[in-house]
Amino acid sequence: MSRDFMRSRVQGGPLGDILEKVEAGLRLSFEEGVRLYEAEDINAVGYLANIARERLHGNRTYYNVNSHINYSNICVLWKACKFCAFGKKEGQQDAYAYSLEEIFKMAETLGRGRTEFHMVGGLHPDLPFDYYLEMIQGIKEIHPQLHLKVFTATEIRFLADHIAKMSVEETLDHLVRSGLGSLTGGGAEIFAEPTRSKICKGKHSGEDWLEIHRIAHNKGIRSTCTMLYGHVESNEDRVDHMLRLRELQDETGGFTTFIPLAFHPENTQMDDIPPTGGMLDVRNYAVGRLLLDNIPHIKAYWIMVGQPIAQISQRFGVDDLDGTVVQEKIYHMAGAKTPHELTVNDIRRLIREAGREPVERDTLYREVTRQGDQWAVHA
Ligand code: V47
């Protein structure tokens, strides 16, 4: 279908007024966001998102060479977060917490040639604050060039209140001095009540999640942001979530990327809900691209949606595929059948086959050039 044909189809259809706004670079409203979710013509929604995507990034799709380390799955919220198959009670079968020695050994091999470690864990009731400070510091000593994207806002709130017993500001200052590079986007789930309480009653509020990112951004710490979809949330909840992210981004400019996270029900307390389908996955990317006009990147986490959707998503607003990701645990414990790792060649092929140009980036989206394991960034 040619672009001209598609344009005239969208122009003459129920999203014609939104097309005018997107072409003019105007901000979309709550009501328009809900209409994009309700629109029957998914190709029209994709067409609109592609305009915004190509205006920002042309034909480029970014990827990074990273690895995940989940230091522990022991979590005081193991029962409260009904969507999670990863969190375990202390002493329960499969519960684990790596020692610092184990982490350093892992880091030694996994870090070679990579630009980023993405590290999150459960809310462990007993590990002391020094464990986290030494973990970050020790990894930086082994791989000084590596960017450490560590902790969700939920972990920061827990560390501050229960482990370090300091303000969020002081907790972040200590972590940054040890080598923290940025925060991950996890823990956001869905902000709107009563939906949030239905899936994670007892977890900190959406307002608190936003407040922690506000504090981090004001200190110059960048972060990503996420939204968990495909459970019991409504279209209105999704749009509300995105607009609250947009509002904070207007204030701080600290988010690099929005990552919609598809709910995986297996082994969770919500296993009666079917897994998300491709239509909902691509729609979330597209609406995210269209509503979040101030967040530069939209990421498809291929681990979660699989390689076919990761490819097609590049025509629905996505400009970033999460990296080579070694050692993923959160989604595989919830039934993901995707591989644990892709090679750089696999990722570049996924991007090329979608008609896009692959560009390696670091965590802050600076272009990377490399020769084998040696790499450098260009500001
Ligand atoms: O907050 C947990 C989600 C998040 C399940 O920052 C689940 O670049 C689906 O935030 N089905 C943690 N989702 C992972 C995360 C993330 C992932 C990739 C990139 C980035 C980034 C961040 O995973 C949790 C929760 O929303 N989650 N269990 C599940 N069963």
Domain CATH code at residue 154 = 3.20.20.70
The Cα-based distances of 81 to 76, 88, 115, 199, 352 in angstroms read 10, 11, 31, 6, 38
Residue 343 has pLDDT above 90, yes or no: no
- Give residue-wise pLDDT tens across range 266-275: 999 999 999 9
Domain boundary residue, one of 55, 73, 92: 55
Q: How far is the CA of 217 from the centre of ligand 1 (A)?
A: 21
Q: What is the mean pLDDT of the chain?
A: 95
Neighbour-count burial for 311-321, b at 16+ CB within 10 Å, e otherwise: bbbbbbbbbbb
Q: How confident is the model at residue 1 (pLDDT cuts 50, 70, 90)?
A: low
Query: SS3 for 278?
Result: helix
- Total domain count for the chain? 2
Domain boundary residue, one of 34, 55, 76: 55
Radius of gyration of the chain (CA): 20
Residues 219 and 306 in one domain: yes
Q: Is the CB of 106 under 6 A from ligand 1?
A: no
Q: Is the CB of 189 under 6 A from ligand 1?
A: yes
Residues 210 and 304 in one domain: yes
User: What is residue 378's predicted lDDT score, i.e. its pLDDT?
Assistant: 80
User: What is residue 329's predicted lDDT score, i.e. its pLDDT?
Assistant: 73
Q: Which of 154, 189, 261 to mutate to test the pocket of ligand 1 (most atoms within 8 A of CB)?
A: 261
Residues 128 and 143 in one domain: yes
Q: How confident is the model at residue 324 (pLDDT cuts 50, 70, 90)?
A: confident
Task: Tell which atom from ligand 1 comes closest to the C-alpha of 189.
Answer: 26
Residues 257 and 189 in one domain: yes
Q: Is the CB of 185 under 6 A from ligand 1?
A: yes
User: What is residue 303's predicted lDDT score, i.e. its pLDDT?
Assistant: 86
Q: Is the CB of 268 under 6 A from ligand 1?
A: yes
Residues 186 and 287 in one domain: yes
Kindly state the average pLDDT of the residues 208-236: 98
Task: Tell which atom from ligand 1 comes closest to the C-alpha of 257.
Answer: 8
Residue 341 has pLDDT above 80, yes or no: no
User: What is residue 81's predicted lDDT score, i.e. its pLDDT?
Assistant: 98
Strand positions, DSSP E, the chain = 60-63, 66-69, 116-119, 147-150, 223-229, 255-262, 297-300, 320-321, 357-360, 367-371, 374-378
Q: How far is the CA of 330 from the centre of ligand 1 (A)?
A: 7
Tell me the CA end-to-end span of the chain in Å, nearest whole number.
Answer: 38
- Answer whether 72's CB lies under 8 Å from 107's CB: no
Residues 93 and 15 in one domain: no
At 165, phi and psi to the nearest 5?
A: 55, 55
Residues 46 and 67 in one domain: no
Kindly state the average pLDDT of the residues 123-130: 98
Residue 296 has pLDDT above 80, yes or no: yes
Number of Cβ within a 10 Å radius of residue 12: 10
Block residue for tokens 């303000």: 167
Position 25, amino acid: G
Residues 184 and 99 in one domain: yes
Number of Cβ within a 10 Å radius of residue 170: 12
Q: Is the CB of 187 under 6 A from ligand 1?
A: yes
Q: How far is the CA of 45 from the centre of ligand 1 (A)?
A: 25
User: What is residue 140's predicted lDDT score, i.e. its pLDDT?
Assistant: 98
Residues 45 and 68 in one domain: no
Closest residue by Cα to atom 16, ligand 1, is 186
Alpha carbons within 13 angstroms on the beta-carbon side of residue 272 total 3
Torsion of CA 8, 9, 12, 13, to 10 degrees: -150
Q: Which residues contact 296 (CB under 8 A, 6 or more apart)?
A: 56, 256, 257, 365
Residue 330 has pLDDT above 80, yes or no: no
Least confident of 222-231, 306-315, 316-325: 316-325
Q: How far is the CA of 171 from the centre of ligand 1 (A)?
A: 23
Q: Which two tokens stand for residue 189?
A: 């789930």
User: What is residue 342's predicted lDDT score, i.e. its pLDDT?
Assistant: 83
Residue percentage of the chain with pLDDT more than 70 = 98
CA dist., res. 4 & res. 286, Å (int): 20
Q: Is the CB of 83 under 6 A from ligand 1?
A: yes
Q: Is the CB of 320 under 6 A from ligand 1?
A: no
Residue 333 has pLDDT above 90, yes or no: no
Residue 197 has pLDDT above 90, yes or no: yes
Least confident of 109-113, 209-213, 291-295: 109-113
Residue 339 has pLDDT above 90, yes or no: no
Range of the domain at 332: 62-378
- Give residue-wise pLDDT tens across range 34-79: 999 999 999 999 999 999 999 999 999 999 999 999 999 999 999 9
